[in-house]
């Protein structure tokens, strides 16, 4: 009976792995994040350590804004094989890094970046909105799970300011659909 149970678990894990390999780290857009650095947090013997990883991304619709986010990455055997479910603790900081321009219109809550945080069921998303009254771009990072969801989130605000002498700052409200 136990051997059957172990075989069924192994078969299910193999099928789940085969289905999830293609989407395990697929971003919402073609340009993936840039790894800035990783810092080990828990030492593991003979397998990769648990780490905090810091990534940077550029907003694909808003030129002149970059976001940096930190995610925990599981080590151990499951992390090494890519089957560990990552925890939902994610932080974000977004800043204006140059003159802001918009490549097109966007909707409130549009996805800036998305990646899987487990083999199938959990994903992390960075979404963007515009506080029209204050002319501020607002970025929200959160993770959601197919069944239960996750209330863990982090928010970063980028006030749109003129960049350099004699330039006017665009109004984000002019680009919201």
Give 26-62 pLDDT, tens digit per residue: 334 447 899 999 888 767 677 767 788 999 999 999 9
CA 129 to chain centre: 16
> Can you give the residue ranges of every domain in the chain?
25-175
Token output for 7: 């075989």
User: CA–CA separation, 153 vs 124, rounded Å?
Assistant: 10
CA distances from 7 to 4, 18, 45, 144 (A): 5, 16, 27, 30
pLDDT at 147: 64
Nearest to 93 by CA among 151, 144, 155: 155
Between 59 and 149, the more confident residue is 59
């Amino acid at each position: 009976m136990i051997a059957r149970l172990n075989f069924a678990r192994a078969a299910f894990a193999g099928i789940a792995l085969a289905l999830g390999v293609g989407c395990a780290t697929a971003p919402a857009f073609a340009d993936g994040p840039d790894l800035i650095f990783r810092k080990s947090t828990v030492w593991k013997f003979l397998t990769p350590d648990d780490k905090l990883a810091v990534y940077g991304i550029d907003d694909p619709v808003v030129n002149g804004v970059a976001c940096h986010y930190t995610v925990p990455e599981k080590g151990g055997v499951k992390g090494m094989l890519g089957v560990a479910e990552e925890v939902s603790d994610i932080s974000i900081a977004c800043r204006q890094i140059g003159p802001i321009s918009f490549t097109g219109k966007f909707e409130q809550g549009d996805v800036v970046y998305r990646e899987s945080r487990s083999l199938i069921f959990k994903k992390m998303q960075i979404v963007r909105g515009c506080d029209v009254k204050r002319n501020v771009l607002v970025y929200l990072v959160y993770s959601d799970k197919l069944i239960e969801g996750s209330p863990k989130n982090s928010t970063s605000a980028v006030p749109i300011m003129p960049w350099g002498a004699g330039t006017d700052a665009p109004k984000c409200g002019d680009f919201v659909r």
